């Protein structure tokens, strides 16, 4: 039995093990369909107040619309003032009561609330910086040298009355604490579904994070990690093994987004917003939606009848209720359950899976380095040591990065060998080779998905590491291998090469292309999407339900088809093949977004494959139709 055969057997075993894990994950995704829909209490209070409704009536209405929880942000001076519970006055030396210009005065009719505010600021500013006194039946807390930002961010605890009202209406509660005191306040409350930290940092950061961890460990509530945001201290919390099973992905509109919509800087319809919420759940494994209602001055374009300020009382409430109903109805139609977060299960990553799948990754590396006599035993020893001695999650990410690069490169080598078998030209032969090449790359995608197995990756506590490397290094390896094969290049010739303006232009174009390629592959990619491409994306979303990646169907797959076709005609175009492998790397990269449900990733790749076959046929047809022919009527080969 040859060494090569043994290595292929190890790769096959690794792939079978990966498929079993992928099937397990698919089952987990089908069973974990619970979603919580939380409505922000401050926004609900403002809408109810503007329409002459009580807060109790508003709670009953959002419950009927499908909400499962009430979102409560910890009270601050600013929020208490918005609710009419306090009034802020700023010092003026000409005023009898508020005479110190360096002070902020908190005016309150209730002695208990005023005393609580004074006590909390005394701990923060110092007892000598706070004074509580009364004047004309009002209680006043004088705060010395207070930063205006503290009015919005200094936590004063939660209102037990609002929490009791939510519980009375059968709603869970999602709390958004600023302070450690506010977080500690909730230990005895029973209907808390999740904690989503308010502000730019977690409660207690940086000195008192251990206390925050202790409080979170003592309560059953989940920890909401809002996507597309960064909070100082969150990494410290999610690094604690005892808290990782509590983490759920959350989605919310930022304050800036809401303000831009209200000010009409962003033209959106209600349907676009509803689609955004639904996509977060369907495509990015979000399980907590924190929804802010729109204030009365929002005049956005909508398929709903948007009430104006002059409309009759109650219409603005109906507008927001319709907004909530559309979101919840879309989720229910998609098969999700609006039953909170308690039923979400946690799956751990283990060394056995990493060890079995890693065998195949190292075996594939050994196949590529067979000319080295001791590569196989050295690789197996390294794999054994790393499996048992290194941190499991770290090694899983290292292997995933290696698999994302090795499988596409091996697919390229197989493709070159297949083209060299003198099969003769033809679209269907090119389509067969393209499909088998995609299947080999898909093996890498499945391996990555299996290596990053477990809720730690699915909830994006940790993610695939080295996205840029996985997109660039295989392309550079393919280009170098092609140069060596096509033009008998070597490192010696490379360093002795005379540089011409043509070379400089080519290097500049390739570098610019690489920068654009990497830029579009990151989170900034949406910033440079043209209007036409955006319309194409929406059309594909409507026609195919899951849109394939643009770089695959409009660039990578068509050029790979053309490169294979040219190779079969003995016009081996290494640049077309190299450009074509952008699509293969994108295929693997789809599964590197581990938080995306598998069903979405599978359909995205499948749609990319068959649409790529069609666009590849169009590109080959253009080549056959428009390229000049020689005297015998044969198409001339492309020259580079």
Q: Is residue 246 over pLDDT 70?
A: yes
Whether residues 487 and 520 fall in one domain: yes
Residue 248: is it exposed, middle or buried by C-beta count within 10 angstroms (0-12/13-18/19+)? buried
Is the model's pLDDT at 238 over the cut of 80?
A: yes
Mean pLDDT calculated for residue range 220-244: 89
Predicted local distance difference test score (pLDDT) of residue 529: 55
> What's 212's DSSP letter?
H
Residue 1 domain-assigned (yes or no): no
Please report how the helices 392-419 and 427-451 are oriented relative to each other, as an axis angle in degrees rounded to 10: 170
Quickly state the pLDDT bin for 300 (edges 50, 70, 90): very low
221-226: average pLDDT:
93
Judgement on whether residues 61 and 93 belong to the same structural domain of the protein: no
pTM of structure: 0.85
What value does the mean pLDDT take over residues 341-360?
89
Q: What is the pLDDT of residues 267-293, one digit of tens each?
A: 677 888 898 999 999 999 999 999 998
Are 193 and 288 in the same domain? yes
β-strand pairing of 288-291 with 36-40: parallel
pLDDT of residue 635: 54
> Mean per-residue pLDDT for 51-65?
89
Say if residues 637 and 566 touch (Cβ distance below 8 Å): yes
pLDDT at 312: 43
Residue 194 lies in a domain: yes
Number of separate domains in the chain: 3
Residues 414-447 pLDDT 10s = 998 888 776 777 888 999 999 999 999 999 999 9
In the chain, % helix, strand, coil (3-state, to 5) comes to: 60, 10, 30
Name which of 335, 391, 392, 381 is nearest 359 in CA terms.
381
Give the pLDDT confidence score for residue 525 in this predicted structure: 46
Tell which of 304, 333, 362 closes a domain. Answer: 333
Contact 274, 280 (CB under 8 A): no
If asked whether residues 507 and 575 sit together in one domain, one would say yes
For the ranges 102-116, 309-323, 578-592, which has the lowest average pLDDT? 309-323
| 297 vs 224, residue with greater confidence | 224
Higher-pLDDT residue of 502, 383: 383
Q: How far apart are CA 422 and CA 399, in angstroms?
A: 36
pLDDT value of position 289: 96
Are 364 and 410 contacting, i.e. CB atoms less than 8 angstroms apart?
A: yes
Domain-located, residue 214: yes
How many Cβ atoms sit within 10 Å of the Cβ of residue 417? Answer: 9
CA 5: distance to chain centroid?
Answer: 40
Distance CA 87, CA 84 (A): 7
- Is the pLDDT at 224 greater than 60? The verdict is yes
Residue 338 in any domain: the answer is no
For the stretch 80-136, pLDDT in tens is 888 888 999 888 878 888 888 888 999 998 888 899 899 889 888 888 889 999 988
Same domain, 143 and 166: no
Is residue 64 located within the same domain as residue 137? no
> Is the pLDDT at 309 greater than 50, yes or no?
no
Q: Considering the domain boundaries, does residue 132 fall inside one?
A: yes
Q: Which helix (H) or strand (E) holds 322?
A: helix 315-333
Q: How far is CA 262 from CA 60, 210, 231, 254, 259, in A?
A: 26, 40, 26, 12, 5
CA torsion sign for 439, 441, 447, 453 is: negative
In a domain, 11, yes or no: no
User: What pLDDT does 544 receive?
Assistant: 84
Residue 183 has pLDDT above 90, yes or no: no
Most confident of 245-259, 317-331, 566-580, 619-633: 317-331
- Decide if pLDDT at 404 tops 70: yes
Across the range 463-486, mean pLDDT stands at 85
Q: What CATH number has the domain bearing residue 130?
A: 3.30.200.20
Q: How confident is the model at residue 493 (pLDDT cuts 50, 70, 90)?
A: low
280 within some domain = yes
Share of the chain above pLDDT 70, in %: 86
60-64, 275-279, 315-319, 556-560, range with the lowest pLDDT: 315-319
Of residues 349 and 286, the one with the higher pLDDT is 286
User: In this structure, what DSSP letter does residue 373 have?
Assistant: T
Whether 1 has a pLDDT exceeding 70, the answer reads no
The H or E element spanning position 638 is none
Residue 301 has pLDDT above 50, yes or no: no
Query: Does 385 reside within a domain?
Result: no
Q: What is the pLDDT of residue 326?
A: 94
pLDDT of 455 over the 80 cut: yes
User: Domain of 324: which CATH number?
Assistant: 3.20.20
The residue ranking higher by pLDDT, 229 or 447, is 447
Domain membership of residue 129 as a residue range? 78-152
Looking at the structure, tell me whether residues 63 and 176 fall in a common domain. Answer: yes
Q: How far is CA 121 from CA 48, 133, 157, 435, in A?
A: 31, 15, 12, 67
* Same domain, yes or no: 527 and 604: yes
Write down the mean pLDDT value for the chain.
84
Residue 24 dihedral angles phi and psi, to the nearest 5°: -60, -40
- For 134-181, the pLDDT digits (tens) are 988 888 889 886 777 888 888 888 888 888 899 899 999 999 998 887
Dist CA 28 CA 22 (whole Å)? 10
Task: Indicate if 200 and 277 belong to the same structural domain.
Answer: yes
Q: Choose the final residue of a domain: 286, 314, 333.
A: 333
Say what the pLDDT of residue 527 is: 43
Backbone angles phi, psi at 298, to 5 degrees: -80, 125
Domain match, 70 and 84 both: no
pLDDT in tens, 586-634: 999 999 999 999 999 999 999 999 999 999 999 999 888 876 555 555 5
Q: What is the pLDDT of residue 299?
A: 47
Q: Which residue has the higher pLDDT, 64 or 46?
A: 64
Print the SS3 string covering 139-192.
EEEEEECCCCCHHHHCCCCCCHHHHHHHHHCCCEEEEECCCHHHHHCCCCCCCE
With vertex at residue 593, the alpha carbon angle to CA 362 and CA 348, rounded to the nearest 5 degrees, is 70
Neighbours of 268 (CB within 10 A): 15
Can you name the residues that pair with 172 across neighbouring β-strands? Answer: 69
What percentage of the chain carries pLDDT values higher than 90?
39
Same domain, 476 and 573: yes
In this structure, the answer to whether residues 498 and 597 fall within a common structural domain is yes
pLDDT band at 526 (very low <50, low <70, confident <90, very high): very low
> Between 261 and 275, where is the model more confident?
275
Parallel/antiparallel/unpaired status of strands 222-226 and 247-252: parallel
The whole-number pLDDT of residue 296 equals 61
Of 111, 130, 152, the residue at which a domain comes to its end is: 152
């Amino acid at each position: 039995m040859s060494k090569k055969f043994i290595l292929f057997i190890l790769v096959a075993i690794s792939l079978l093990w990966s498929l079993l894990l992928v099937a397990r994950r698919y089952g987990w995704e089908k069973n974990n369909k619970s979603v919580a829909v939380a409505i922000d209490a401050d926004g609900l209070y403002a809408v109810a107040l503007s329409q002459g409704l009580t807060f109790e009536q508003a709670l009953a209405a959002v419950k009927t619309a499908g909400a499962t929880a009430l979102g409560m942000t910890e009270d601050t001076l600013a929020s208490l003032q918005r609710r009419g519970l306090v009034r802020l006055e700023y010092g003026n030396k000409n005023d009898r009561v508020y005479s110190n210009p360096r002070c902020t005065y908190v005016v309150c009719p209730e002695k208990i609330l005023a005393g609580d505010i004074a006590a909390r600021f005394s701990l923060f500013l110092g007892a000598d910086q706070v004074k509580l006194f009364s004047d004309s039946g009002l209680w006043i807390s004088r705060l010395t040298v207070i930063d205006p930002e503290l009015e919005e961010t200094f936590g004063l605890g939660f209102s037990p009355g609002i929490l009791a009202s939510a519980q009375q209406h059968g709603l869970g509660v999602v709390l958004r604490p600023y302070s450690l005191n506010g977080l500690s306040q909730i230990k005895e409350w029973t209907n808390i579904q999740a904690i989503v930290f308010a502000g730019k940092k977690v409660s207690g950061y940086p000195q008192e994070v251990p206390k925050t961890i202790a409080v979170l460990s003592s309560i059953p509530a989940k920890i909401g990690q809002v996507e597309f945001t960064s909070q100082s201290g969150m990494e410290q919390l999610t690094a604690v093994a005892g808290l990782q099973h509590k983490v759920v992905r959350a989605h919310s509109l930022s304050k800036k987004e809401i303000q831009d919509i209200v000010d009409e800087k962003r033209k959106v319809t209600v349907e676009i917003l509803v689609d955004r919420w639904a996509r977060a759940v369907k495509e990015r494994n979000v399980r907590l939606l924190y929804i802010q209602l729109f204030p009365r001055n929002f005049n956005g374009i909508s398929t709903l009848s948007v009430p104006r300020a002059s409309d009759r009382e109650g219409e603005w409430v109906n507008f927001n209720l319709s907004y909530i109903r559309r979101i919840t109805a879309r989720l229910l139609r998609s098969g999700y359950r609006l039953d909170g977060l308690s039923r979400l299960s946690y799956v751990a990553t283990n060394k056995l899976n990493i060890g079995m799948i890693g065998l195949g990754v190292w075996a594939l590396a050994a196949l590529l380095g067979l000319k080295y006599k001791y590569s196989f035993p050295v690789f197996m020893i390294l794999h054994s040591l790393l499996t048992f001695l290194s941190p499991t999650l770290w090694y899983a990410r290292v292997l995933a990065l290696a698999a994302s690069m090795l499988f596409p490169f091996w697919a390229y080598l197989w493709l070159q060998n297949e083209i060299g078998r003198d099969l003769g030209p033809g679209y269907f032969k090119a389509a067969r080779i393209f499909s088998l090449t995609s299947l080999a790359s898909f093996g890498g995608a499945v391996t990555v998905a299996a290596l990053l197995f477990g809720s730690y990756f699915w909830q994006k506590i940790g993610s695939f590491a080295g996205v840029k490397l996985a997109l660039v290094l295989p392309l550079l390896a393919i280009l170098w291998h092609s140069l060596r094969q096509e033009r008998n290049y070597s490192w010696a010739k490379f360093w002795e090469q005379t540089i011409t303006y043509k070379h400089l232009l080519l290097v500049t174009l390739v570098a610019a292309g690489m920068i654009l390629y990497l830029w579009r592959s990151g989170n900034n990619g949406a910033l440079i999407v043209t209007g036409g491409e955006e319309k194409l994306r929406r059309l594909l979303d409507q026609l195919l339900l899951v849109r394939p990646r643009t770089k695959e169907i409009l660039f990578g797959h068509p050029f790979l088809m053309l490169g294979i076709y040219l190779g079969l005609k003995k016009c081996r175009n290494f640049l077309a093949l190299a450009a074509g492998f952008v699509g293969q790397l994108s295929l693997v990269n789809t599964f590197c977004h581990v938080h995306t449900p598998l069903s979405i990733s599978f359909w995205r790749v499948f749609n990319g494959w068959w649409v790529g076959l069609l666009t590849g046929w169009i590109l080959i047809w253009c080549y056959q139709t428009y390229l000049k022919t020689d005297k015998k009527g044969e198409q001339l080969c492309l020259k580079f």
